[in-house]
Structure 1
Amino acid sequence: MTRKDILPDEYHNYYDHYLNLVPATATIDTILQTSLEETLQFVNSIEQPFDTSYQMGKWSIAEVLMHNIDTERVFAYRALRFMRGDLTALPGFDQDIFARNYSHYAFAKADFINSFKVTRNATIDLFKSITVDQLLIKGMASDQAMSVRVIPFLIAGHNKHHENVIKERYLS
């Protein structure tokens, strides 16, 4: 299954931007691993301190990267709930509340890389044994329908979006 196979009724159009950052030919079997490798290469290339912010009141590089990890954890949890048949509507999450609680992290590059790898490998593992029927299950999150199969592509696209933001605003 490829990203181009995702149908518009499987997600809210809010996520179009993220999905469009993933190649249409990307497959559900490889997108998370490919994204992992690309993200690790990107993070390793960052020479600025992780506490760098491009403007007062904006997240630091570390906070943006931690936001990616938190978002992946939330989306993987949604996938787990839906694929296991628990279709209880799930609330959204407030990224700003999460970010306010990042202040106690030291954000060493090595620590971030480890946390990202652990999170991503857990997500990859979650999707390794999924069936076609489970991929097609739709649940409700943030008052919107979402299929299980769209989630790996959203995770990869969300990461790519924030990597682009870091490149454009923090590293230029």
Structure 2
Amino acid sequence: MTRKELQSGEYNSYYDHYLNLVPESASIDTILQSSLEDTIRFINKIDKPFDTTYATGKWSIGEVLMHNIDTERVFAYRALRFMRGDQTPLPGFDQDVFAQDYSNYAFAKADLINSFKATRNATIDLFKSITAKQLISRGVASESPMSVRVIPFLIAGHNKHHENVIRERYLS
């Protein structure tokens, strides 16, 4: 299936921006791997220190990248719960609470790449053996319905969004 096949009832319209950063022709079978490769290339090209911010009170480059990793972990957990048929509504998560702990990280490029790879490979593995029934499973997260099949595209689009932010605000 491709991103174009997603229906608006499968996710909250809040996520439209992220999903629109993924080509409509992107396949659920390949989007996570291609996004992984794109992100690693992107991180490797960053030539500024990862503690660089573009304004006071804004996250550093490293914190933005950690945010992407944490967000993927949250969305993969949602996918797992929905795939397994757990209909317990899942709460949202406060990205700023997560980021409070980021100040303890040194944000070495190699460490961030390794963490990103480990997280993404676990997500790829989760989706590798998914059944057709699991793929169309739905649950509720952040008080909105969400299908399992939207999650890989959402993860890739969220990554792309923050890579664009880093390009535009930190590297220009």
Q: TM (normalized to structure 2)? A: 1.00
Identity rate, percent: 77
Q: How many residues align?
A: 172
Q: Secondary structure at the match of 2:102?
A: coil
Structure 2 alignment gaps of length 5 or more: none
1:68 aligns with 2:68: yes
Shift of residue 65, structure 1, vs aligned partner: 0.2
Counterparts of 1:74 and 1:34 in 2: how far apart (Å)? 20
Counterparts of 1:88 and 1:69 in 2: how far apart (Å)? 24
Structure 1 runs (4+) deviating above 4 angstroms are none
Q: Secondary structure at the match of 2:52?
A: coil
Shift of residue 87, structure 1, vs aligned partner: 1.2
Aligned to 1:43: 43
Output aligned runs, 1:43-122, within 5 Å.
43-122=43-122
Shift of residue 103, structure 1, vs aligned partner: 1.0
Aligned to 1:12: 12
Q: Secondary structure at the match of 2:162?
A: helix
Q: Secondary structure at the match of 1:49?
A: coil
Q: Secondary structure at the match of 1:101?
A: helix
Shift of residue 159, structure 1, vs aligned partner: 0.1
Counterparts of 1:87 and 1:171 in 2: how far apart (Å)? 42
Q: TM (normalized to structure 1)? A: 1.00
Structure 1 alignment gaps of length 5 or more: none
Counterparts of 1:76 and 1:146 in 2: how far apart (Å)? 12
Q: Deviations over 1:38-59 (max 9, x none)?
A: 0000000000000000001000
RMSD (Å) for aligned C-alpha atoms: 0.3
Which letter does structure 1 place at the counterpart of 2:148?
A: V
